């Protein structure tokens, strides 16, 4: 497994996720960090975008999921993002961290959040991804 990563940090979207009716009605910001684990040496050697993952495409996919979907739990949102990335891009592993800075809690808090890591299964990427590229 590669130790290389593409990192997208601090992706902020306004969305309507949460269990409370006010969260669904009013919405709030969500901040995501995404790490894509894959071998970046082909791109490093060739300086060719085709040898890596275009992070603009990852950003657009994540934005669509977060802003157009509706989830009660951050866990479900994170799982959906991770699984869509695994089936859409040739990554070995993905980490998704979601921060909810306006979580409806009775005290002062920087954010509530979740972080998950998911690894590729051999059937995840139908495009024929192989580690050797």
Distance CA 115, CA 99 (A): 9
CA-to-CA dists, residue 105 to 67, 110, 112, angstroms: 23, 11, 9
Q: Is 100 a catalytic residue?
A: yes
Q: Encode pLDDT of 35-70 as tens digits.
A: 999 999 999 999 999 999 999 999 999 999 999 999
- Catalytic entry in 99, 100, 121, 131: 100
Q: Which pair of tokens denotes residue 90?
A: 């040739």
Q: Which pair of tokens denotes residue 49?
A: 């975008």
Class of domain 5-119: alpha beta
Model-level pTM?
0.87
Q: What does the domain layout of the chain look like in residue ranges? A: 5-119
φ, ψ (nearest 5 deg) of residue 51: -95, 10
Distance CA 52, CA 2 (A): 13
Q: Which pair of tokens denotes residue 55?
A: 């992070």
The residue ranges of the chain whose pLDDT is under 50 are 128-133
φ, ψ (nearest 5 deg) of residue 96: -125, 125
């Amino acid at each position: 497994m590669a130790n290389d990563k593409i990192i997208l940090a601090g992706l902020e979207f306004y969305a309507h996720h949460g269990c409370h009716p006010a969260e669904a009605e009013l919405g709030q910001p969500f901040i995501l960090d995404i790490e894509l684990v894959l071998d970046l040496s082909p791109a490093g050697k060739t300086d060719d975008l085709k040898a890596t993952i275009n992070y603009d495409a990852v950003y657009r996919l994540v934005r669509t999921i977060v802003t157009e979907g509706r989830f009660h739990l951050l866990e479900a949102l994170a799982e959906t993002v991770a699984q869509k990335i695994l089936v859409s891009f040739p990554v070995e592993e993905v980490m998704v961290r979601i921060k909810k800075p306006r979580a409806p809690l009775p005290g002062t808090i920087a954010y509530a959040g979740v972080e998950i890591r998911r690894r590729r299964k051999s059937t995840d990427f139908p495009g024929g991804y192989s580690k050797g590229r």
